[in-house]
A and B are shown apart, each in its own frame.
Chain A
Amino acid sequence: MQNPMDGVAGFKTFQYLEENSMTQSKFRNLAIAASLALMGSAAYAQVKIAYIDPLSGPFANVGEAGLKGFKEAAEILVNQKGGIMGQKLEFVGFDNKGSPQETQIQLKAAIDQGFRYVTQGNGSGAAHSLIDAVNKWNERNPDKTVLFFNYAAVDPTLTGEKCSFWHFRFDANTEMKMEAITNFMENDKKIKKVFIIGQDYAHGHQVAKAAKEMLAKKRKDVQIVGEDLHPIGRVKDFAPYIAKIKASGADTVITGNWGNDLSLLVKAAKDAGLTARFFTYYAGGLGTPQAMGASGENKVLQLTEWHMNVPTKSTEKFALDFNKKYPGVWFYYLRVNTMVEMVAKAMNTAKSTDPKAVALALEDMRFPAENGEVWMRKSDHQLMQPLYISVFAKADGKTVKHDSEGTGFGWKTVASVSQRDSQLPTACIMSRP
């Protein structure tokens, strides 16, 4: 049985999950929020962004890590540097429990409390729900528009067929990531046989489809020796899948798996002595390195916009401070910082906190992020940024200076993809207000 409460249609009206910057008591805040909600007014001296992600239930750890990242980024990268036209930027958590329907309720709660910006990232289902709801809201309430910043939902259709003027994505989508991975594979002639394994849902299907199409174009000689989809979160023992991969003779595995489905897969591979390399999207953070441990050494590769051993101007310090301040939560999302800085810059440039003006300012923005110059493409609102392929290797204090999540293993860059090279054409036909 899964936790029966996850789906409880729970609503948190007055969700003040202030982590540590609160000066008033929660109860007083509650009262204020309640009266504001009743009046429906929005007299804030701050710029507030509603963070709508799971804060309870099975994905709560991921949601909480994200929220802490946003708060820290807002504080250090914006508020300590003068804020937004003198106002503070603040992130407030709204618990959607990972449910697309709950997401809509939380959006309503946020709008009621005067929020005009929302951000979300965990789960494309919730992202779809949010993009629909925001579009409809803006259509029905043109004087109170809302803008949606997506920091991690990677379904290509969100900036493709379903693209919206009111949605900006700061993470590379599935296809862009696969483009980068297959570009890398194109040059690695050791790869002969590829096995694709994924979770049996939209994301897994998209990864598999992109991998097949792109490999067919770039490496005609590579043989795809197998393709498996397994139900998400239901497989305990991956040994049979590993046995199958082994039997297929694959030297490379591509997977879009995340969370336990990834950790268990890697552990089972190690147990069975499978030597194939794993190309992954999500091996880098949020507990996966810890769960994989030594079994991932020199076997697991990941594609990210950044990792701890990519040299930066200030993010290294930021990350170390973050890890110290929140023991047990490891800094992972550089794109969160990028997003916070870009949003602040857009507001300052537009000299307005009106969502439409901010959206227009964000379009086509070029920004020197810590991982290199990034560009928000106007045609589909997809951020173009450099990407890194790295392998899980023993921390040595030099090229692998920092380990990941205290495991003694860290990420070693094996290739980087420039912002320009990660670009792909889009199917977006955007309707603009």
Chain B
Amino acid sequence: MEFVAISLLNGITYGLLLFMLSSGLTLIFSMMGILNFAHASFYMLGAYFAYQISTWVGFWPGLLVAPLLVGAVGALIERYGLRRAHRFGHVAELLFTFGLAFVVEELVHLIWGKSSVDYKIPVELDGALFTLFGTDFPIYKGFMMLVSVGMLVALYALLTRTRIGLIIQAALTKPDMVEALGHNVPRIFMLVFGGGTALAGLAGVIGGNAFITEPGMAAAVGSIVFVIVVVGGLGSLGGAFIASLLIGCIQTFSVALSISITDVFALVGITLPDGSQVARLTITQLAPVLPYLLMVAILIFRPRGLMGSRES
């Protein structure tokens, strides 16, 4: 029981962080049809910007400024790079972001070096928020949840209460129609790309010090974010939300299960031959592969994803 409670908290915290990343990716994909391979790079940039700002003026200004900076960088990249690649079709766009991912990584190497940087949790947020069954729940995790939920609410309000939000929402389901209605689609694209990358930047700001700010951090989350977007359904924010929490919890709970595949099959009455390596693998070992398995299964059996409305 206590284990379930703790794991659930951990899973939700991680899931919410993942949602911050995947919401931006989903927005960008829905609007522009671009699978932004470099999305996690903006997450990394957010962390590094926040680190740099925190060394000058502290953590709190960075929380606000770093995502805006990342968004600005994203908007510029859209304006002067992606828009050009767009003329050559989706494959060129995709490859552009693919190349961008490692140019960003090299630039980070160049500017901040190849090792991790000392991006610290602010003192105010250091320590335990409460103790549950003898396990501390850190304040910072609570803060992460707060920011994520705050962002979720703000995003919801933006999408449902503002004009630009309504246009974006319309574009999620009927991109052609929005264009036909004479909206300045290129500028909306730039805004959405900037906004989406800013969300990734925000995730970086609060994820960078919770974990480690280092040049490999983009690669570490890159593919999992894709999994979320596919599992949730391309273009569906609600789907991305559910998939983020789902994958956060899957990753957390599967660690807890030390039973092997043999045991799983035994549960349903199948005895696997002894000795095979597959049979001896435990669910814990498989934990990080499970999202990919889920993704492949989703793509085969329900290609539009959990909540998606259109197939890619």
Contact = CB atoms under 8 A, between A and B. Distances in A.
A235 B255 CA distance: 11
B135 A61 contact: no
B255 A240 contact: yes
Given A231-B289, A235-B288, A260-B116, A240 B220 contact: no
Interface residues of A, number: 41
A239 interface: yes
Contacts of A274: 135
A5 interface: yes
A308 B61 CA distance: 38
Contact of B223 (A1, A64, A200, A247): A1
A142 interface: no
Interface in A43-98: 58, 60-61, 64
Given A230-B288, A246-B134, A260-B116, A58 B221 contact: no
A60 B13 CA distance: 32
B29 interface: no
A229 interface: yes
Contact of A240 (B40, B118, B136, B253): B253
Interface string B152-182: 0000000000000000000000000000000
Nearest to A4: B102
B104 to A, nearest CB: 10
A61 B114 contact: yes
B287 A1 contact: no
Contacts of B11: 240
B288 A231 contact: yes
Interface of B is mostly: helix
B60 interface: no
B258 A226 contact: yes
A280 to B, nearest CB: 16
A2 B105 CA distance: 10
A423 to B, nearest CB: 33
A263 B118 CA distance: 12
Interface in B1-49: 2-3, 6-7, 10-11, 13-14, 37, 40
B4 to A, nearest CB: 10
B116 A246 contact: no
A24 to B, nearest CB: 26
Interface centre among B3, B98, B120, B135 (most CB of A within 10 A): B135
Contact of A243 (B7, B128, B258, B284): B7
Given A240-B251, A240-B256, A246-B135, A1 B37 contact: yes
B219 A237 contact: no
Given A260-B214, A263-B212, A273-B131, A1 B10 contact: no
Nearest to A328: B113
A290 B284 CA distance: 29
A244 B256 CA distance: 6
A125 interface: no
A257 to B, nearest CB: 13
Contacts of A271: 136, 138, 140-141
A61 B256 contact: no
A274 B131 CA distance: 12
A293 B120 contact: yes
Interface in A1-49: 1-5
A287 B255 contact: no
Contact of B115 (A61, A226, A231, A264): A61
Interface in B95-154: 98, 101-102, 105, 109, 113-116, 118, 120, 128, 131, 134-138, 140-141
Interface in A216-274: 226, 228-231, 233-237, 239-241, 243-244, 246-247, 260, 263-264, 267, 271-274
Contacts of A243: 3, 6-7, 10, 135, 255-256
B215 interface: yes
A291 interface: yes
A236 B114 contact: no
Given A230-B285, A234-B220, A243-B7, A287 B136 contact: no
B153 to A, nearest CB: 24
Nearest to A5: B102
B115 A286 contact: yes
Contacts of A287: 115-116, 214
Given A231-B288, A240-B251, A58 B219 contact: yes
Nearest to A290: B118
B45 to A, nearest CB: 15
B238 interface: no
Given A64-B114, A272-B135, A236 B221 contact: yes
Interface of B: 2-3, 6-7, 10-11, 13-14, 37, 40, 98, 101-102, 105, 109, 113-116, 118, 120, 128, 131, 134-138, 140-141, 211-212, 214-216, 218-223, 251-253, 255-256, 258, 284-285, 287-289
Given A236-B221, A247-B3, A272-B135, 13 more contacts: A1-B101, A1-B223, A3-B102, A230-B287, A231-B285, A237-B10, A241-B255, A260-B212, A264-B211, A271-B140, A273-B134, A273-B135, A291-B214
Nearest 6 pairs between A and B by C-beta? A273-B136, A61-B114, A240-B255, A287-B115, A2-B219, A239-B10
